[in-house]
């Protein structure tokens, strides 16, 4: 063991032990440094924490440089490291294998929803189709039974062919006004007749229309309208088609209606030519007379049990007599043209009444 060395000093004939004394200044400085450390301890701890935070900062430049240095070739498949492969364009193509067909699409909710909607819609449509076709089939079978019991099939087919609908009759009308009451319309019609022009009132859905002329085309209707406007009468060109249903028309009645419609179309053309001061060609006059003759022949062959229809057809045919007499005399003038227009307008009213009467008769027969 080492002994602590002691220093002895001889003073006045005696030996005294020398002790090390602590300097007062050093003791005070130590105390002061302790106080300073205690006072500035929060600042020192904050500085130490800042130094720790600075160690967490990542140097992006170094990281980027590291990635560039260690980057692999662009054709690497990513499954191996530093292992270059052939470029994608030069690789051997793999043939598709049908044995590896996957049913993963069945797990798709959208696909399943669309498929279910299609299947439900198809099933519903087939059900409706079967119901409708079943009704048609039962109706046809019932009709076949009735035919076999009541009459032969040939007779039923012949009767079906004899039933027709109304012939097409599309017109261009010259309208003079529309009124809410029949009295006002009749009053205006009387004023126009006093000027020497024809006029008729036709009711449609509670409105009374005043018609002043009839033509088979728009240009012809404009000619009639210009003549009326020259006498201070406002006009409107209106296409008109008779409202008809799929009512059944007897064959003989249909023949009379068809011949009458054809005659009215020819008469309308002839009257417009007279207004323009033209003389109809001989072939037009011949066709006009032949049409009137066909109309009379079809009326003579008329066979119907409806006395009201027969009476209206006779009234319609009687309107042609004065017109035929004028053209048979070879006289053509503007005054005769307006007489023809008057007969045509009245014939239009009768044709509309015929449609209503035949439709009402069909409703009674089917009830």
**Tens-binned pLDDT, residue by residue, of the chain (367 aa):** 455 666 666 666 666 666 665 555 555 555 666 665 666 666 666 666 666 555 566 677 777 777 776 665 555 555 555 555 556 666 666 665 555 556 665 667 777 788 888 888 888 788 877 776 654 444 444 444 334 434 444 444 444 445 577 887 778 899 998 898 999 999 999 999 988 899 999 888 888 999 999 998 889 999 999 999 988 888 989 888 777 777 788 888 889 998 988 988 888 888 888 888 887 788 888 888 888 888 889 888 888 888 898 899 999 888 877 777 766 656 666 677 888 899 899 989 998 898 888 888 776 555 5
The 3-state DSSP class for residue 21 equals coil
Tokens standing for residue 159: 């009767």
Instruction: Specify if 334 maps to a domain.
Output: yes
Instruction: Specify if 279 maps to a domain.
Output: yes
Instruction: Specify if 196 maps to a domain.
Output: yes
The 3-state DSSP class for residue 164 equals strand
Q: Taking a C-beta distance cutoff of 8 angstroms, is the pair 212, 229 a contact?
A: no
Strands (E) in 207-311, as ranges, are 207-215, 236-241
- Angstrom distance (rounded) from CA 218 to CA 211: 15
Instruction: Specify if 44 maps to a domain.
Output: no
Q: Taking a C-beta distance cutoff of 8 angstroms, is the pair 278, 194 a contact?
A: no
Exposed/middle/buried for residue 316 (C-beta within 10 Å: 0-12, 13-18, 19+):
buried
Instruction: Specify if 192 maps to a domain.
Output: yes
Domain that holds residue 272: 170-366
Tokens standing for residue 129: 């189709």
Instruction: Specify if 206 maps to a domain.
Output: yes
Helix %, strand %, coil % for the chain, to 5? 60, 10, 25
Q: What is the CATH number of the domain that holds 240?
A: 1.20.120
Instruction: Specify if 114 maps to a domain.
Output: no
Closest CA to 211 of 179, 181, 244: 179
Instruction: Specify if 117 maps to a domain.
Output: no
Question: Could you give the number of structural domains in the chain?
Answer: 1
Exposed/middle/buried for residue 351 (C-beta within 10 Å: 0-12, 13-18, 19+):
buried
């Amino acid at each position: 063991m080492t002994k602590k060395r002691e220093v002895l000093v001889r003073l006045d004939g005696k030996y005294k032990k020398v002790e090390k004394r602590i300097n007062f200044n050093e003791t005070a400085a130590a105390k002061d440094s302790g106080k300073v450390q205690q006072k500035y301890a929060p600042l020192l701890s904050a500085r130490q924490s800042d130094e720790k935070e600075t160690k967490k900062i990542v140097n992006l430049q170094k990281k980027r440089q590291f990635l560039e240095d260690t980057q692999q070739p662009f054709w690497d498949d990513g499954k191996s490291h530093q292992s270059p492969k052939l470029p994608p364009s030069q690789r051997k193509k793999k043939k598709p294998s049908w044995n590896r067909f996957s049913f993963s699409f069945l797990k798709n909710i959208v696909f399943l929803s669309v498929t279910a909607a299609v299947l439900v819609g198809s099933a519903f449509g087939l059900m409706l189709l079967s119901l409708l076709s079943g009704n048609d089939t039962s109706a046809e079978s019932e009709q076949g039974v009735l035919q076999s019991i009541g009459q032969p099939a040939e007779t039923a087919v012949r009767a079906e062919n004899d039933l027709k609908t109304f012939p097409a009759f599309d017109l261009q009308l010259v309208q003079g006004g529309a009124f809410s009451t029949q009295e006002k319309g009749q009053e205006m019609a009387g004023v126009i007749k006093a000027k020497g022009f024809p006029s008729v009132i036709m009711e449609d859905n509670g409105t009374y229309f005043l018609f002043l002329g009839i033509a088979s085309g728009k240009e012809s209707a404009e000619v009639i309208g210009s003549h009326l406007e020259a006498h201070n009468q406002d006009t409107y060109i209106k296409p008109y088609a008779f409202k008809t249903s799929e009512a059944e028309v007897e064959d003989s009645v249909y023949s009379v209606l068809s011949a009458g419609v054809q005659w009215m179309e020819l008469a309308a053309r002839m009257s417009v030519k007279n207004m323009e001061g033209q003389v109809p060609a001989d072939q037009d006059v011949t066709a006009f007379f032949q049409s009137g003759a066909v109309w009379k022949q079809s009326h003579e062959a008329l066979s119907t049990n409806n006395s009201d229809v027969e009476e209206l057809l006779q009234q319609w045919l009687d309107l042609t007599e004065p017109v035929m007499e004028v053209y048979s005399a070879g006289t053509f003038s503007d005054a005769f043209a307006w007489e023809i227009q008057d007969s045509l307008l009245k014939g239009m009213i009768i044709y509309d009444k015929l449609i209503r009467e035949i439709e009402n008769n069909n409703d009674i027969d089917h009830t």
